[in-house]
Structure 1
Amino acid sequence: KETYDVYQAIIKTVGENDYEGLDKLVTQAYSNGLSSYMKTSIKTLKKHLPHIKNTFTFPYTNGRIEGMNNKIKVLNRVAYGYRNFNNYKNRIILHFNLKPRPNHKDRIQIKTSSMAA
């Protein structure tokens, strides 16, 4: 019962972005009624408390980048590899509807052709 109550209290404080409440929950002493898994979880939360405070304070997340990385890994796995890096890069650009940048050779050709004109 105590483990369940602590678990629910943690969920409530995180849902309400209540850092002070989470800090109190993590730093308070508990009796032997907690499961070993909950004790380990509280120990982990206590260790990462300053970083958790940042998530409550700032609205930034790296979820979008992680999602892109995951999609790139799936593309690579589905294709069973690419013949060369340019094909791989072009497939990623196509998948994400990004605007392709001219590669180094294209820029050199553009510069030399404009100098001749």
Structure 2
Amino acid sequence: MATQLKLPTRVNRDSDSFEKYQTYIHDMFMNLCITNGPIEAINSKIKVWKQTTYSYRNDSHFRDRILLMTRLYDR
């Protein structure tokens, strides 16, 4: 008679999450050309601008600068 091993709840939760998202994980490895690099680059630039431009009085001016510098304005 085999003894059943009792796993911690965290392991059970992780395995449930893996089963839930298994198709997405598989697709991620099959489509290696998809990357979040451009978004990460924009986030990095925004963090640097936040550190150097702490003197903006108006938040909308800072937002406008971000949109201009990242070319996200609608034309």
Shorter-normalised TM range: 0.5 to 0.7
Of 52, 64, 67 in structure 1, the residue corresponding to residue 40 of structure 2 is 67
**Structure 2 CA distance for aligned equivalents of residues 33 and 57 of structure 1:** 34
> Please, what is the CA RMSD of the aligned residues?
2.7
Q: Which runs of 4+ in 1 moved over 3 A?
A: 81-84
Higher helix share: 1
Number of aligned residue pairs = 62
Identity %: 10
**Greater Rg over alpha carbons, structure:** 1
TM-score of the two chains, using structure 1 as the length reference: 0.41
Residue ranges of structure 1 left out of the alignment (5+ in a row): 1-30, 94-103, 105-117
Correspondence 1:1-117 to 2 at 5 A: 31-78=4-51, 79-80=53-54, 81=56, 84=61, 85=64, 87-88=65-66, 89-90=68-69, 92=70
Give, in angstroms, the shift of residue 32 of structure 1.
Answer: 4.0
TM-score of the two chains, using structure 2 as the length reference: 0.58
